[in-house]
Chain A
Amino acid sequence: MWHKRFSHVYLEEGVEKYPMTRVILDRLSNSKLVTVKNYKDVFARSGQNFQLQKRSPKLILARKKDHLIYEGSMASQDFGYRNFYYNSLLLNCVYNCDYCYLQGMYPSGNMVVFVNEDDFYRATAKAIDYRPFPQEPLYLCISYDTDLLAYESVVPYTSRFIEFTREHEDLVIEIRTKSANWRALEEIVPCDRAILAWTLSPPEVASAYEQLTPSPEQRIQAIKQCLDRGWPVRLCFDPVLRIDNWEKIYISFFKEVFKHLPAEKIRDVSLGVFRMNPDYFKRIKKQRTDSDILYYPFESSPSFVSYPAEERSQMIEKLKDALTKYVPAETIETWT
């Protein structure tokens, strides 16, 4: 009944000339092509149903005309890097987590790929040259509002950005993912300035709330492969969800993780509880009533919706404490 994922590829006028377009279309040779003057005519139509579209998402290839790099906000996870930036190579994600803020941020469940690769490199190189703290590297998250590595087999941005990073000494990139696609990096020589940041959740969370993602075991195996090959790896236990028995579940999950992964090889760990921009949260709740985690009695402040302050600190305190059994406290960055 449903069309396959990416059954249709919408091509914004002018994208044919970019090499990335050719690469993607070669890999999606069975998709139907539809031309569009401006990608927003498809992506930003009013009244779209995000979750229905997720059942048969389409790909939109477009050119990003401005904002090729963004400065991170004060609230971003900057890991001590003062030149903190991110970019948007893709809009949306192949996965569909119940707690994902993209549902409230984007008007569509379809995915956009910006194919003007060289413009992104040029903007990044310029930002490196003009970074506010020249004695420190520029820190760039390239998988910020998406999961770049998960879609590497079609859109090879991760590998290409790693090569770009290798050539730019003052650049550190973070590639955040839930993917198990370590094979996409198999042929690439590890780069110590390309941090692979894996989001891990206990099986109880992953199976209930992280639709379409690889299982935690598969992610752990992928991490192991990458650690063995010498990649710098960050583990992100974020967002921690206050499910029934959360404490027991997360603590025994940490045990499981570090049974398989050599803790001394982990570069750092990020630990954060569920939190979301209030406008996005409101929009998501309007659209869906099928996920209990969105209906927790949260506390709302002008900047975010999250668990009540007391619960947040309790969660972080207990889980940080549990993590320090495996990794030094100073390598754990927390978000409440």
Chain B
Amino acid sequence: MKIIVTALRQEARPLIDALGLKQDSSSRRIPVYTSADTLLVISGIGKMYAGIATTHAVHLAGESKDNHLINVGMCGAVVDQIALGEAVTVNKIWDHSSGREFFPDMLINHSLQEASLGTFDQPVTTANRPILACDIVDMEASGIFQAAHLFMSPHQMLFIKVATDYLEFSSDDYSQMQRYYEQSLDEWAPILRNCEQFDSADPVISPEQETLLSSVAESMRLTQTQTHQLRDAVTRFLVRGGANLEILKPNLATKPKHKTLRNQLFESMIQALNK
């Protein structure tokens, strides 16, 4: 599942349209929009709200190794190398108030420029520039990272920010800032559509085989250690090219009456798998 976190409605709107998301009316306090493979949440401004919304979103999506969390939003640019309207990916998040740093894994080349980001509790103005040890600033990312990291790995997180100002703007500039954001969409929206499924490789033991294993263990009254040993033997058997687990099926009907017999049957089953 793709979990998208934005702070503002204005940031979410173009994505809701582009990805054809529908509002989930059961989530009243925190706006949530979904499709079959995407869940978007609008957090509101600030890292506390962002953290809460992230947790809410992960809870709704369910914890999974296949989840991808993507934070998209507008940001202020600190350095001139980042142009207004340019989208960047974040390789480091510095929380200004705690001084802590967080690092998403940078495994996939998204062909966007990279930047380090500072998350602040207050809006940042040009007067703050000299103290800024980062390329861009926002008010949410560190909260999102910390909340998400409780449920997922750093490689499952991606932060995309669009520079919409150089830390100096008034309400008159809002519509231009929104235009910058929307115009950049073509640059980064494909990333959301094609989120790589890092861990999508099928598990060695399929769900049906898992069921078979449990049934065999139950009918043969295997001990916990024997169940582990059987699992290892099955894994090895399958990795070595074993096509199916037909050889286990006769044991489904076996209900050994005493331990000695159970252990004998178990040993011959393991031997057959290890052949």
Mutual binders A and B: yes
Taking a contact as CB atoms closer than 8 A, the residue among A2, A47, A58 that contacts B153 in the complex is A47
From A47, which residue of chain B is reached at the shortest CB distance?
B153
* Contact between B107 and A52, CB atoms less than 8 A apart: yes
Please report whether the interface of chain A is mostly helix, strand, loop or mixed according to DSSP: loop
Bound form: Cα–Cα A292–B138 in Å: 47
User: Is B154 in contact with chain A by the CB < 8 A criterion?
Assistant: yes
Against B, the Cβ 8 Å flags (1 = close, 0 = not) of A274-315 are: 000000000000000111100111000000000000000000
Count of chain A residues with a beta carbon within 8 Å of a chain B beta carbon: 30
Known: A41-B101, A290-B239. A46 touches B232 (CB 8 A): no
* Contact between A34 and B116, CB atoms less than 8 A apart: yes
* Contact between A42 and B103, CB atoms less than 8 A apart: yes
* Contact between B154 and A1, CB atoms less than 8 A apart: no
Taking a contact as CB atoms closer than 8 A, the residue among A36, A46, A49, A291 that contacts B103 in the complex is A36
* Contact between B155 and A53, CB atoms less than 8 A apart: yes
From B240, which residue of chain A is reached at the shortest CB distance?
A292
User: Is A318 in contact with chain B by the CB < 8 A criterion?
Assistant: no
List the A side residues contacting B196 at CB < 8 Å: 1
* Contact between A48 and B154, CB atoms less than 8 A apart: yes
* Contact between A295 and B105, CB atoms less than 8 A apart: no
User: Is B204 in contact with chain A by the CB < 8 A criterion?
Assistant: yes
Known: A32-B91, A41-B103, A289-B205. A49 touches B235 (CB 8 A): no
User: Is B270 in contact with chain A by the CB < 8 A criterion?
Assistant: yes
User: Is B260 in contact with chain A by the CB < 8 A criterion?
Assistant: no
Interface residues in A20-54 by Cβ distance below 8 A to B read 32, 34-37, 41-42, 45-49, 52-53
User: Is B125 in contact with chain A by the CB < 8 A criterion?
Assistant: no
List the A side residues contacting B198 at CB < 8 Å: 49, 52
* Contact between A8 and B109, CB atoms less than 8 A apart: no
> How extensive is the interface on chain B, given as a class?
20 to 34
List the B side residues contacting A41 at CB < 8 Å: 100-103
Bound form: Cα–Cα A296–B239 in Å: 11
* Contact between B91 and A1, CB atoms less than 8 A apart: no
* Contact between A36 and B270, CB atoms less than 8 A apart: no
User: Is A3 in contact with chain B by the CB < 8 A criterion?
Assistant: yes
User: Is B192 in contact with chain A by the CB < 8 A criterion?
Assistant: no
* Contact between B92 and A56, CB atoms less than 8 A apart: no
* Contact between A56 and B235, CB atoms less than 8 A apart: no
User: Is A77 in contact with chain B by the CB < 8 A criterion?
Assistant: no
User: Is A7 in contact with chain B by the CB < 8 A criterion?
Assistant: yes
Interface residues in B53-103 by Cβ distance below 8 A to A read 91-92, 99-103
Against B, the Cβ 8 Å flags (1 = close, 0 = not) of A54-74 are: 011010000000000000000
Known: A48-B155, A291-B239, A297-B233. A56 touches B103 (CB 8 A): no
List the B side residues contacting A52 at CB < 8 Å: 105, 107, 155, 198-199
From B65, which residue of chain A is reached at the shortest CB distance?
A49
Interface residues in B138-163 by Cβ distance below 8 A to A read 149, 152-155
Q: Beyond the given A46-B149, A297-B274, could you list 9 further A-B residue pairs with CB under 8 A, ordered by the A residue number? A: A2-B109, A3-B108, A3-B109, A8-B106, A34-B91, A36-B101, A55-B107, A295-B232, A295-B236
> 3 tightest A-B contacts by CB?
A295-B236, A292-B239, A47-B153
Interface residues of A (CB under 8 A from B): 1-3, 7-8, 10, 32, 34-37, 41-42, 45-49, 52-53, 55-56, 58, 289-292, 295-297
27 A-B pairs (CB sep. < 8 Å): A1-B109, A1-B196, A3-B108, A3-B109, A32-B106, A32-B114, A34-B91, A34-B92, A35-B92, A36-B92, A36-B103, A37-B99, A37-B101, A45-B103, A45-B154, A47-B149, A48-B154, A49-B199, A52-B107, A52-B198, A52-B199, A53-B155, A289-B204, A289-B239, A290-B239, A292-B236, A295-B236
